[in-house]
Amino acid sequence: MAKIPTSPFAELGPKTPVETGTVKRGIYGRYLEEFTEGAIFEHPRELTIDRSFAQEFATTFMEANPLYLSAPYAQAHGFKDLLVSPLMVFNVALSLGVQNDSEKALANLGYYDVQFLKPVYPGDTLSAKTKIIKIDDKGADKPGIVHVRTLCLNQNRELVLQYERKIMIYHSNGKPKGTPKPVIKDAFFPETDSPVIELPELKFPKGFETSTWTDTYFENFSAGQIYIHQNGRTITDEHFPWTYRVGNTHPLHYDKLYSSGISGPMGGEPVVYGGLVFAWLCGLSSRDVTENVIWDLGFTEGYHTQPSFSGDTVTAITRVLSVKDRGTEFGIPAGEVHLQFIGLKNIKANDAFEKFGADLFLKENDKKKHGKEKLPEKIFEIERKILVKKK
């Protein structure tokens, strides 16, 4: 053990002249011209997800699946401990990348091919890396689009999550730039175009029959069903600390001086970080559709179609697109359920369904070709696949 002598120190401020020419201003994030196709960013900071953090996320974001709440339940099913919610893993991975990827972004345009490949447990430490896939530069006076792939690794450098997203970013056009860390050449980046899910040997234990509801097993789902989730969730200023708790550094989500200086629909009050909205919406559906999920197979192309703000109440609707029996491919009898997931704000899900009907399930970017108007109450759309236990 090192023992270092110390003592009180004298005040120097009043006697030290102020040098106004030596000011340093930390400027973070990248403008469009600062991205290069093929570049890899190794993002600063890692997060160790302890048990209390994992369970607080699961309960705050309304998860009903006991895999994320009960260690005995998860262990009885073959996992070594309770699982960290996939939406928490996703939020941490995205947020750790913000400083390099999107802290100068005007908007996050969409998520693509979100794949959860390995369990994350309390005590695991997560880090993230991003590769620039493509840059769509539309000119100096227009925002461009940066397409990225992000990996999330655990402390053993094992790939636990892979996904892509598209980000809208302006050129600097004379604005001061920061000094981001240089791109790491030959960085370890274990991306894969042939992903494989690695799970322990799963079990179907007895004695947990009352841990979940009886009508959320695979046999209860059929193509065409529509679940109108009855409860909403009013988002309060709690979103400010949660933004930084998962590692997101974009000031749009917690700095009113910054957000009030932005014009358009994203300006004014700080915008709720989309990953948190995503998690709350999934939580609202959890009791109806994901309580008996044994693994989250991921999400495909999805979008935040409107921003959310403190005070908004979000609601959700789910449509079953297809079901597929997977036998015992994953170790226990289970089936795959493919869902379409819709998020709304400031309207009850029942009222939205009565008002808009089938139009809710049209992609917002496709509305024009169908001769339809976009829905201001609709804030999110994505498709999801889940692996659900049989009875």
**13 falls within a domain:** no
Together in a domain, 266 and 157: no
Which structural domain, as residue segments, surrounds residue 348?
212-390
For residue range 240-263, what is the model confidence (pLDDT) as tens digits?
999 999 999 999 999 999 999 887
**85 falls within a domain:** yes
Looking at residue 178, its pLDDT comes to: 85
The pLDDT-based confidence of 265 (bands split at 50, 70, 90) is: confident
Together in a domain, 369 and 319: yes
**362 falls within a domain:** yes
Could you tell me the pTM of the whole model?
0.96
CATH value at residue 120: 3.10.129.10
Residue 45 has pLDDT above 90, yes or no: yes
Tell me how many domains the chain contains. Answer: 2
The pLDDT-based confidence of 184 (bands split at 50, 70, 90) is: confident
Together in a domain, 171 and 221: no
- Residue from 177, 172, 180 nearest 143 by CA: 172
Together in a domain, 292 and 380: yes
Q: What percent of the chain has pLDDT over 90?
A: 93
Together in a domain, 330 and 251: yes
For residue range 2-26, what is the model confidence (pLDDT) as tens digits?
999 999 999 999 999 999 999 988 9
Together in a domain, 87 and 161: yes
**134 falls within a domain:** yes
Together in a domain, 316 and 219: yes
Together in a domain, 227 and 370: yes
Together in a domain, 159 and 308: no
For residue range 271-312, what is the model confidence (pLDDT) as tens digits?
999 999 999 999 999 999 999 999 999 999 999 999 999 999
Together in a domain, 171 and 216: no
- Asked which of 175, 202, 230 is the last residue of a domain, the reply is 175
